[in-house]
Amino acid sequence: MTFELRLERNLGDYLGRRTVGRPKLKATIADVISALPDSVIFGGMIREFALGNARGFVSDIDLVSTASQSQISLAVSQYHAVRNKFGGFRFVIEKQRFDVWSLSDTWAFRNGFATGETFADLLTTSFFNVDAACYHVRGRELHCLPDYDRWIQERILDINLLQNPQPPRMARRALVLIQTRQLGVTRRLAEYIAIHVGNQTLTWSDQLLMKKLREFLIRDGQDVFRFSPQAELVVQ
């Protein structure tokens, strides 16, 4: 069985077993999909399942639909959803944040940084490569970029779409993913982090990571940087 088929099956099995593990969350997804059948789960949740973190994933749940804004507003009205600054609808269920938006309102599409009208086109709009996957819940079908399985299996974090409305936030998210998911980072993303992390308040571990990241950037001959705080402590 291929990586994609295994991930597709795992997602389908998880969402289908509504009585096992976080039933209210699964029921919410099922209810939204029932009202908006042509919709996908996009990004973080798919990434967490792909990386083997299905049991305790805590990422936001992003749902993208071909439905209009008015149709989405009606579908999520029972959850007291509010509009987020990017045009989607946001609500919280059991401390899990949901964002639901119309495919045509995707930030990269609206601002001309990507083009497309299908869920396959949506894959080009994520900032991180490991978020470039979506799962059509009703169709039980996974869509991902051609190299997605390699990125996941080699645990490599890179930039998929450079343009983003919140560069400092993306730099900070990269620091978190590198450390909590044990991901290697490409030179291109390392340079992006060094430029955009700015004057944000960093933890001790973040500061150590940034120090090693900058050392990596001045060296030649290495394409992927991997960070091990435990190893650094032993060296020190």
Of residues 32, 62, 69, 29, the one with CA closest to residue 44: 62
Residue pair 186/223 in contact (Cβ under 8 Å)? The answer is yes
Domain assignment of residue 59, yes or no: yes
Spatial separation of the C-alpha atoms in residues 135 and 140, rounded to whole Å: 7
**Rounded alpha-carbon distances, angstroms, from residue 31 to 68, 99, 104, 118:** 17, 14, 22, 23
pLDDT of residue 235: 45
- pTM, whole model, 2 decimals? 0.92
Which of 107, 126, 151 corresponds to the end of one domain?
A: 151
Query: pLDDT tens for residues 88-122?
Result: 999 999 888 999 999 999 999 999 999 988 999 99
Same domain, 107 and 46: yes
User: Region 181-203: what's the mean pLDDT?
Assistant: 94
Give the N- to C-terminal CA distance of the chain in Å, as an integer. 44
In whole angstroms, what separates CA 108 from the centre of its chain? 15
Q: Which domain holds residue 179?
A: 166-235
Residue with the two structure tokens 């997804």: 29
User: Region 12-20: what's the mean pLDDT?
Assistant: 80
User: Region 63-90: what's the mean pLDDT?
Assistant: 93
Query: What is the CATH number for 44?
Result: 3.30.460.10
Domain assignment of residue 133, yes or no: yes
Residue 128 DSSP one-character state: B
From edge to edge, which strands make up the β-sheet containing 184-186? 156-157, 184-186, 224-225
Residue positions counted in the chain: 236
Same domain, 61 and 112: yes
> What value does the mean pLDDT of the chain take?
91
Spatial separation of the C-alpha atoms in residues 29 and 27, rounded to whole Å: 5
Same domain, 52 and 76: yes
Query: pLDDT tens for residues 134-149?
Result: 999 999 999 999 999 9
Same domain, 218 and 144: no
Same domain, 39 and 121: yes
The total number of structural domains in the chain stands at 2
Domain assignment of residue 160, yes or no: no
Same domain, 171 and 141: no
Domain assignment of residue 156, yes or no: no
Domain assignment of residue 50, yes or no: yes
Same domain, 146 and 175: no
Same domain, 226 and 138: no
Position 123 confidence tier, pLDDT thresholds 50, 70, 90: very high
pLDDT of residue 198: 86
- 3-class state of residue 163 by DSSP: coil
Which of 104, 122, 151 corresponds to the end of one domain?
A: 151
Domain assignment of residue 158, yes or no: no
